[in-house]
Chains A and B, each alone.
Chain A
Amino acid sequence: MTAIDTNNQQAPHSHGLPVAGSTGSGSPPERFTSRNPDDFAVPTGREEEWRFTPLRKLRPMFNSFQVDSTIRPTWVAPAEVTIEVVAADDALIGSVLRPADRVSALALANVRHALVVRIPAGIELSEPVWVTITGKPGLNYGHVVIDAAPNSKATVILDHVGSASLAANVETIVGDGANLTVVSVQDWDADTIHLAALATRVNRDAKLTHVVINLGGSIVRLTPTVEFGGPGAQAELYGLSFAGDGQHQESRLHVDHAVPNCSSNVVYKSALDGETARTVWIGDVRIRPAATGTSTYELNRNLLLSDGARADSVPNLEIETGEIAGAGHASATGRFDDLQLFYLQSRGIPEEDARRLVVRGFFNDILKYIKVEALHDRLMDTILTRLGAK
């Protein structure tokens, strides 16, 4: 394990504008982070990080609340894996996470227990760790830590089902040389509110494959962040959102390249089927001066299946060194691609079948990264059922 940075109180701060002299040669301002919820004002909707989010339903989450404890985790895991509930003062808690918004800071400050999943060093798991997080109506704080020790290989699924209001943090540590896949599935019932920071650190020569699947819930707003603990690390970040009427699904990514020779690849896709369906994708990538040899690419694709649906897409790339291997991003939002339909139809495939093939392909392009067949098939079935129900 690399050194754990547990005290961020003294880290450089900025409040929207760079403090004179604090960032040196024209570098962009640091993202503001703090463990103290009161360092973040209650969002008004004018803030950059909240401007796309419907705040009214979230009001109860913007201050400390009395927990209803209506969420229960259950799990199935291979024998080598240790899963335990620890007290919130455990040293692992807050070892990766640096809260960047009020809800994340409130969750960290108020949560009393955390679920810790430990993958032992040098172990390759043949079966996934499958944690099912089942909610019932009520307010909850949550905290999960996934600690993949060096040279381990594992898949961890966080499968969110049921109905709840949840403010949570998930911390993931991928140890030196480890290969970890984390799949976070939001298959909630319709009324759920789920706000969570998904903080990850990928250490030397390690590989993280991070898959976020948003299907259910009323408002699901997730903020995956990646930092690299040593050179040669690799982060593959995949996301799929399928928003219907009344659903808001927001993904705000922040990838911080601060060490040399790491790579990040982001592919997030969303499909919107319903007049009031809404998705937001923000992809921030920063390549700091020390991060020479960085390779990064971000891709966001949004497929509008109904009139009135709205997808916001904002890629941001800040490059502070010229010595990189490559950096780029692409974003496109549109309806059915007529050229794809023409191509398939020109091979004799009837229009309806061609449409199904294109949509299925659109989803499968992300679902294919889920190698756990039972989960892959369940998610595809859910999607196809929803498409068929239209």
Chain B
Amino acid sequence: MSTLEIRDLHVSVNAVGADASDTPTEILKGVDLTVNSQETHAIMGPNGSGKSTLAYSIAGHPKYTVTSGQVLLDGQDVLAMTVDERARAGLFLAMQYPVEVPGVSVSNFLRTAATAVRGEAPKLRTWIKEVGDAMKDLEMDKAFAERNVNEGFSGGEKKRHEILQMALLKPKIAILDETDSGLDVDALRVVSQGVNKVRETGVGTLLITHYTRILRYVHPDFVHVFFDGRIVQSGGAELADELETSGYARFGVNETAAAG
């Protein structure tokens, strides 16, 4: 049983202004959220509401500065950890825009990551089978393992690759940032199945999305509406249905204005 606690989290980003001055802009304005093992929380909100900032801040992206608040994983201070320490503690972020790493093969990358997270190199024989099975679940071709990390991947391949890592690294808490974006209906089904398979391991999941369509495949226990840097309403799965029919306007959100 693991718990991720986010308490009154405030986060700024340094936007370089037209006069080249660094002006910190507050994006998260007091986020409170607790995610336990086995729970799936959906965070929904319009573009520009700060959803992805929340994901990246928890993972420790250097662009974002936490100005106040706490993030605790089983009582441990996540914000005091380096990026890699957070991952080894059991956090995982499936990124919306995974980064290309030229010259590094997927197989080398996965094994290096698994070795780091598990604290020892996986035994070669069982590892090959483990990777093979996980790739099969995600309907990925074997040749994929020999390609360079994210280089020339299609949108769908990138997302499958993210979920493949999630399956192999077995996090305690996983944050999926817009994993559904850029996927056609078939890819969405495959990726969702992959996510659901990992959920069976008891992982706590924070699913960040703009649209409700992934929620048809990955059923949330809790839904949170995110706007202007904080959670404005929380509820059960039925909240997603309300969003589906009435959009964000019901929550005082003018989407066109927010997206600007």
A complexed with B: yes
**A contact residues vs B (CB 8 Å cutoff):** 301, 337-340, 342-351, 353-354, 357-358, 360-365, 368
Which of B43-51, B56-64, B69-77, B217-225 is found at the contact surface with chain A? Answer: B56-64
Whether B95 pairs with A354 at a CB distance below 8 angstroms is: no
B104 is an interface residue with CB less than 8 A from chain A: yes
Query: A residues within 8 A CB of B169?
Result: 347-348
Q: A342-B83, A364-B103, A365-B148 are in contact. Are A348 and B59 (CB under 8 A)?
A: no
- Complex: A346 Cα to B103 Cα, angstroms: 19
Q: A346-B87, A347-B165, A348-B113 are in contact. Are A365 and B102 (CB under 8 A)?
A: yes
- Complex: A47 Cα to B232 Cα, angstroms: 66
Per CB-CB distance, the 8 closest pairs between chain A and chain B, nearest first, are: A361-B103, A365-B103, A348-B87, A361-B104, A347-B113, A345-B83, A343-B99, A348-B117
- Complex: A340 Cα to B148 Cα, angstroms: 13
- Complex: A90 Cα to B152 Cα, angstroms: 47
B112 touches which one: A340, A349, A364 (CB < 8 A)? Answer: A349
- Complex: A337 Cα to B102 Cα, angstroms: 11
B230 is an interface residue with CB less than 8 A from chain A: no
Give B125-156 interface residues, CB cut-off 8 Å to A. Answer: 148-149
B104 touches which one: A346, A351, A358 (CB < 8 A)? Answer: A358
A340 touches which one: B82, B83, B84, B101 (CB < 8 A)? Answer: B101
B10 is an interface residue with CB less than 8 A from chain A: no
Q: A342-B62, A342-B99, A365-B102 are in contact. Are A353 and B87 (CB under 8 A)?
A: no
- Complex: A326 Cα to B242 Cα, angstroms: 49
Query: A residues within 8 A CB of B187?
Result: none
Q: How far is the CB of B206 from chain A (nearest CB, A)?
A: 15
A344 touches which one: B93, B101, B103, B148 (CB < 8 A)? Answer: B101
- Complex: A360 Cα to B104 Cα, angstroms: 8
What are 22 A-to-B residue pairs whose CB atoms are below 8 Å?
A: A342-B99, A345-B87, A346-B60, A346-B87, A346-B93, A347-B87, A347-B117, A347-B165, A347-B169, A348-B88, A348-B116, A350-B116, A351-B82, A351-B84, A354-B84, A357-B104, A357-B109, A361-B101, A361-B102, A363-B103, A364-B103, A368-B103
Whether B99 pairs with A340 at a CB distance below 8 angstroms is: yes
Query: A residues within 8 A CB of B116?
Result: 347-350, 353
Q: How far is the CB of B164 from chain A (nearest CB, A)?
A: 11
B84 touches which one: A301, A339, A348, A361 (CB < 8 A)? Answer: A348
Query: B residues within 8 A CB of A365?
Result: 102-103, 148
A360 touches which one: B60, B103, B148 (CB < 8 A)? Answer: B103
- Complex: A362 Cα to B117 Cα, angstroms: 24
Q: A361-B101, A363-B103 are in contact. Are A346 and B117 (CB under 8 A)?
A: no
Q: How far is the CB of A337 from chain B (nearest CB, A)?
A: 8
Look across to chain B and name the residue whose beta carbon is closest to the beta carbon of A349: B116
Q: How far is the CB of A200 from chain B (nearest CB, A)?
A: 25
- Complex: A360 Cα to B102 Cα, angstroms: 9
Query: B residues within 8 A CB of A357?
Result: 101, 104, 108-109, 112
B98 is an interface residue with CB less than 8 A from chain A: yes
**B contact residues vs A (CB 8 Å cutoff):** 59-62, 82-84, 86-88, 92-93, 95, 98-104, 108-109, 112-113, 116-117, 148-149, 165, 169
Query: A residues within 8 A CB of B165?
Result: 347
Q: How far is the CB of B60 from chain A (nearest CB, A)?
A: 7
- Complex: A365 Cα to B149 Cα, angstroms: 12
Query: B residues within 8 A CB of A342?
Result: 60-62, 83, 99
Query: B residues within 8 A CB of A362?
Result: 102-103
Q: How far is the CB of B92 from chain A (nearest CB, A)?
A: 8
Q: How far is the CB of A49 from chain B (nearest CB, A)?
A: 30
Look across to chain B and name the residue whose beta carbon is closest to the beta carbon of A338: B62
Look across to chain A and name the residue whose beta carbon is closest to the beta carbon of B97: A339
Q: How far is the CB of B259 from chain A (nearest CB, A)?
A: 24
- Complex: A348 Cα to B113 Cα, angstroms: 6
Q: How far is the CB of B169 from chain A (nearest CB, A)?
A: 7
Q: A351-B82, A357-B112, A365-B148 are in contact. Are A343 and B101 (CB under 8 A)?
A: yes
Q: How far is the CB of A324 from chain B (nearest CB, A)?
A: 22
- Complex: A110 Cα to B113 Cα, angstroms: 57
A361 touches which one: B60, B82, B86, B148 (CB < 8 A)? Answer: B148
Whether A343 pairs with B112 at a CB distance below 8 angstroms is: no
Look across to chain B and name the residue whose beta carbon is closest to the beta carbon of A352: B84
- Complex: A353 Cα to B87 Cα, angstroms: 14
A339 touches which one: B93, B99, B103 (CB < 8 A)? Answer: B99
- Complex: A365 Cα to B112 Cα, angstroms: 18
Query: A residues within 8 A CB of B93?
Result: 346
- Complex: A347 Cα to B164 Cα, angstroms: 12
Query: A residues within 8 A CB of B92?
Result: 346
Q: How far is the CB of B136 from chain A (nearest CB, A)?
A: 21
Query: A residues within 8 A CB of B100?
Result: 340
- Complex: A346 Cα to B108 Cα, angstroms: 16
Query: B residues within 8 A CB of A346?
Result: 59-60, 83-84, 86-87, 92-93, 95
- Complex: A364 Cα to B151 Cα, angstroms: 14
**Contacts beyond the supplied A342-B61, A343-B99, A344-B113: 9 A-B pairs with Cβ under 8 Å:** A343-B95, A345-B84, A347-B109, A348-B88, A348-B117, A357-B108, A361-B102, A362-B102, A364-B104
Q: A342-B61, A342-B62, A361-B148 are in contact. Are A350 and B84 (CB under 8 A)?
A: yes
